[in-house]
């Protein structure tokens, strides 16, 4: 076991993949202190990995969604950019990855690394939410998505790969369902509120690590100024991609590496319906307004999985929703920690005789 090293490759479209990978990596290293995990990630995922205490090497960044006021646009163009990303990242990995030293790969949504590991027969654990995407609105893009599902399915079906499903319905013989994963909270809620100086009811606006959520910040701030609640405060965590204009009476932060602690300490979270901040709110038991970007099938599935009924249009009625959600009874927390996933990783690596 001593001296064993492995790669952790992360899709850098937002911070949800990186936050989940950090949770898994910390749990794995906690069980095996001699294990060395080295992250491969583009910005901003790279920044979160480094801020969480891991060494990392920069990959080319995953292309950003094309969007307008929260609506996903031009998916055909995005798929062309993603194909280009796979070529560039693959070339980079062929020149820089050391598969002799790093004996296994954990990939969270990063397919270029899975392809390169497969070429070297490296045991690979791949976290996936679905096989391929479902954004298409025209026949040509549907053909592209069909090819993408075939390519991804064939790559993930290889004998050196174990697929860990974040959603149900991954129809591959080597897949195991582990469900959503979030980072553990560092302290209890009352201590965090004291540390963060949350003296009033706190509305946290945290739309995620992409630029798609810019419209949600705008709508949330406008609604906040309209409702005028003197016994409450709003904090905007804009993330690494957004630089919103600041409004009076609202507190602004950019990138924070421990967003899960802010989520637990808050009284209400307003976010996009991704697998990052929304899942952290569910785990914390913090009431959440989770808005799916228009045309984002994965976000809509995330909402259904937890019985949430929000729609894209709800972003424009926040002045009604904020007071309503601040008055609800806080639901119980849910354990969405990484233990089950790490159990699966350990079992797979032992089967492959990587772990002793």
Q: For residue range 117-133, list pLDDT tens digits in order.
A: 999 999 999 999 999 88
- Going by pLDDT thresholds of 50, 70 and 90, the confidence category of residue 3 is confident
Q: What pLDDT is attached to residue 137?
A: 84
Distance CA 208, CA 189 (A): 22
In a domain, 332, yes or no: no
168 and 200 both lie in a single domain: no
In a domain, 158, yes or no: yes
Please, are residues 325 and 289 in contact by the beta-carbon 8 Å criterion?
A: yes
108 and 10 both lie in a single domain: yes
In a domain, 356, yes or no: no
- Going by pLDDT thresholds of 50, 70 and 90, the confidence category of residue 209 is confident
Residues 187-192 have a mean pLDDT of 97
255 and 282 both lie in a single domain: yes
84 and 166 both lie in a single domain: yes
52 and 100 both lie in a single domain: yes
Q: What pLDDT is attached to residue 1?
A: 41
Distance CA 251, CA 247 (A): 8
Q: For residue range 60-73, list pLDDT tens digits in order.
A: 999 999 999 999 99
Q: What is the mean pLDDT of the chain?
A: 94
124 and 203 both lie in a single domain: no
Residues 284-308 have a mean pLDDT of 91
- Going by pLDDT thresholds of 50, 70 and 90, the confidence category of residue 177 is very high
Is residue 356 pLDDT above 80, yes or no? no
212 and 169 both lie in a single domain: no
Q: Which domain holds residue 133?
A: 5-181+337-351
Instruction: Tell me how many domains the chain contains.
Output: 2
256 and 311 both lie in a single domain: yes
In a domain, 83, yes or no: yes
CATH code, domain carrying 308: 3.40.50.2000
Q: For residue range 44-58, list pLDDT tens digits in order.
A: 999 999 999 999 999
217 and 82 both lie in a single domain: no
Helix-strand-coil split of the chain, %, nearest 5: 40, 20, 40
Q: For residue range 242-270, list pLDDT tens digits in order.
A: 899 899 999 999 999 999 999 999 999 99
**Distances from the Cα of 282 to the Cαs of 27, 82, 200, 207, 334, in angstroms?**
20, 31, 21, 15, 7
280 and 264 both lie in a single domain: yes
40 and 140 both lie in a single domain: yes
**pTM of the predicted protein model:** 0.94
In a domain, 48, yes or no: yes
In a domain, 331, yes or no: no
The encoded tokens of residue 142 equal: 């549907």
Is residue 274 pLDDT above 90, yes or no? no
Helix, coil or strand: residue 232: strand
26 and 171 both lie in a single domain: yes
């Amino acid at each position: 076991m001593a001296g064993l090293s492995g790669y952790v490759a992360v899709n850098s479209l937002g911070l949800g993949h990186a936050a989940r990978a950090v949770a898994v990596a910390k749990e794995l290293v906690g069980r095996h202190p001699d294990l060395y995990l080295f992250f491969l990630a583009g910005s901003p995922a790279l920044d979160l990995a480094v801020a969480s205490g891991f060494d990392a090497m920069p990959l080319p960044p995953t292309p950003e969604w094309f969007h307008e006021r929260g609506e996903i646009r031009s998916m055909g163009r995005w798929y062309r950019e993603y194909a280009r990303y796979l070529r560039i990242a693959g070339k980079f990995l062929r020149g820089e990855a050391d598969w002799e030293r790093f004996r296994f790969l954990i990939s969270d949504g990063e397919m270029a690394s899975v392809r390169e590991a497969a070429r070297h027969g490296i045991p690979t654990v791949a976290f996936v939410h679905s096989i391929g995407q479902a954004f298409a609105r025209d026949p040509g893009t549907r053909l592209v998505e069909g090819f993408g599902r075939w390519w991804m399915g064939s790559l993930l079906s290889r004998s050196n790969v174990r697929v860990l499903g974040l959603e149900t319905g991954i129809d591959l013989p080597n897949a195991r369902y582990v469900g959503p994963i979030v980072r553990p909270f560092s302290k209890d809620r009352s201590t965090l509120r004291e540390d963060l100086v949350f003296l009033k009811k706190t509305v946290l606006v945290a739309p995620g690590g992409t630029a798609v959520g810019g419209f949600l910040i705008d709508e949330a701030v406008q609604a906040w100024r309209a409702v005028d609640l003197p016994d409450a405060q709003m904090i905007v965590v804009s993330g690494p991609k957004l630089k919103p204009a600041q409004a009076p009476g609202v507190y602004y932060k950019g990138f924070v590496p421990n967003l899960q602690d802010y989520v637990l300490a808050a009284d209400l979270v307003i976010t996009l319906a991704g697998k990052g901040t929304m899942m952290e709110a569910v785990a914390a038991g913090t009431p959440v307004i989770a808005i799916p970007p228009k045309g984002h099938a994965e976000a809509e599935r995330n909402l259904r999985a937890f019985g949430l009924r929000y729609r894209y249009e709800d972003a424009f009625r926040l002045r009604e929703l904020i007071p309503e959600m601040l008055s609800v009874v806080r639901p119980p927390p849910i354990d969405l920690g990484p233990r089950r996933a790490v159990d699966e990783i350990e079992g797979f690596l032992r089967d492959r005789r990587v772990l002793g």
